Amino acid sequence: MIVVVKIGGALIAENFDNVVNDITNIHQNHSDKYKLVIVHGGGPQINELLRQMNKEPKYFKTPSGFRTRYTDQEAIDVAIMTLGGKNNKRLVEALQKRDINAFGFTGIDGGIIEAKRKEKILVMINDKRIMKHGEYSGKVKSVHTELLQYLLEMNYLPVIGSLGKSEKGEIVNLDGDRAASYIANALGAEILISLTDVEGIYKDFEDKNSLIQNIKRYQLEHLMEQLAGGMKKKAYAALEALDMKIQTVIISSGLGDNPIYNALEKETGTVISNE
Ligand SMILES: Nc1ncnc2c1ncn2[C@@H]1O[C@H](COP(=O)(O)OP(=O)(O)OP(=O)(O)O)[C@@H](O)[C@H]1O
Ligand SMILES: [Mg+2]
């Protein structure tokens, strides 16, 4: 079965050796059972590079309570450097060092991910709704899988940075989790795993005893308004995946040993299922 694994930027910032070792083990020893496709983000690295350039990352709250980046011209340039450059190639390098034939690219390459550009975003500033123009982010419309299927057949490991191609051919920034949902759906993946820097979804993030182990789609929908930050977006992307053809989404920590294998075999983390 095809398994799409999203590796969060938060995780890449910490330590991805155990994730890369885990991918290596699955690719080398369990490829008869699992075929992996990696999708990655890069939020923290984009911010770090912006700051090195003396630019402050710009975030706003949307009227519906999501925290969103304002991806202006400068931010999209840095997103290209990060998602199409360092994050992508460091992951490919780490896998190549372990004799895995990783093939890195983004959704603009080969026009693989077609997206609708949001040219403006509605945000809240001092309780007022303000329209910000010049936005370079997008929502996935379709994913072309021919090349991906070919890479999988030839035993390459696809590593995809979350950029897409707009209707006008521009590069747009994509939410990594939502891109992973659409890629998983287009490939007919059964499982989507989102590896992050926390154990899963906490009912109450302040209460470390409130980790959710199993949750059904409709229950997560009810929990949405209690979630915040990156997890709210991740949960939304999980709902989107389940609304398409994916049966199971697992949100789990990538910080321990064998995070993907354990999520697949032992269902560690938060397992979200349809029905
Ligand atoms: N209820 C909650 N349960 C778990 N995490 C939560 C919750 N509320 C907020 N969070 C935050 O969500 C974060 C995970 O989302 P985040 O978007 O930061 O990571 P990521 O998706 O792995 O990385 P990236 O977005 O850079 O690809 C956690 O580190 C945590 O701080
Ligand atoms: Mg995130």
- What is the DSSP secondary-structure string of 1-68? -EEEEEE-HHHHHH--HHHHHHHHHHHHHSTTT-EEEEEE--HHHHHHHHHHTT----EEE-TTS-EE
Cα of 43 vs centre of ligand 2, distance in Å, is 7
Q: With a cut of 90, say whether residue 237 has pLDDT above it.
A: yes
Cα of 154 vs centre of ligand 2, distance in Å, is 31
How wide is the angle at C-alpha 260 spanned by C-alphas 256 and 263, nearest 5°?
A: 90
Q: What is the β-pairing status of strands 191-196 and 157-161?
A: unpaired
Closest ligand 1 atom to Cα of 202: 3
Q: Judge if pTM exceeds 0.85.
A: yes
Q: What is the pLDDT of residue 146?
A: 98
Q: What is the pLDDT of residue 151?
A: 98
193-212 residues labelled b (16+ CB within 10 A) or e (exposed) = bbbbbbbbbbeeeeeeeeeb
Cα of 7 vs centre of ligand 2, distance in Å, is 9
Asked if 211 and 199 touch (Cβ cutoff 8 Å), the reply is yes
Q: Which residues contact 71 (CB under 8 A, 6 or more apart)?
A: 79, 135, 136, 137, 172, 173
Q: With a cut of 90, say whether residue 97 has pLDDT above it.
A: yes
Query: Tens of pLDDT along 45-72?
Result: 999 999 999 999 999 999 988 888 999 9
Which residue's CA is the closest to the ligand 1 atom numbered 20?
8
Quote the crossing angle between the two packed helices 146-153 and 176-187, to the nearest 10°. 70
> What order do you get walking across the sheet with 157-161 strand by strand?
102-106, 157-161, 35-40, 2-7, 191-196, 248-253, 270-273, 214-216
> In whole numbers, what is the pLDDT of the chain averaged over residues?
95
Q: With a cut of 80, say whether residue 13 has pLDDT above it.
A: no
pLDDT band at 125 (very low <50, low <70, confident <90, very high): very high
Q: What is the pLDDT of residue 162?
A: 98
Ligand nearest to the CA of 12: 1
pLDDT band at 44 (very low <50, low <70, confident <90, very high): very high
Ligand nearest to the CA of 195: 1
Q: How far is CA 201 from CA 108, 218, 231, 236, 254, in A?
A: 31, 15, 7, 12, 14
Average pLDDT for 174-188: 97
Q: What is the pLDDT of residue 227?
A: 93
Site to substitute for ligand 1 among 86, 87, 204, 205, most atoms within 8 A of C-beta: 205
Q: What is the pLDDT of residue 67?
A: 87
Average pLDDT for 18-27: 96
Q: With a cut of 90, say whether residue 206 has pLDDT above it.
A: yes
Q: How far is CA 186 from CA 21, 108, 134, 272, in A?
A: 27, 16, 30, 19
Query: Tens of pLDDT along 148-163?
Result: 999 999 999 999 999 9
Q: What is the pLDDT of residue 267?
A: 85
Q: Domains in the chain, please, with CATH?
A: 2-273 (3.40.1160.10)
Site to substitute for ligand 1 among 5, 198, 212, 213, most atoms within 8 A of C-beta: 198
Which residue's CA is the closest to the ligand 1 atom numbered 27?
8
Closest ligand 1 atom to Cα of 229: 9
Q: Is the CB of 179 under 6 A from ligand 1?
A: no
* Alpha-carbon span 155 to 191, nearest angstrom: 19
Cα of 32 vs centre of ligand 1, distance in Å, is 32
Which of 242, 231, 235 shows the shortest CA–CA distance to 185?
A: 242
Q: Is the CB of 41 under 6 A from ligand 1?
A: yes
Cα of 194 vs centre of ligand 2, distance in Å, is 9
Cα of 67 vs centre of ligand 2, distance in Å, is 10
Q: Is the CB of 234 under 6 A from ligand 1?
A: yes
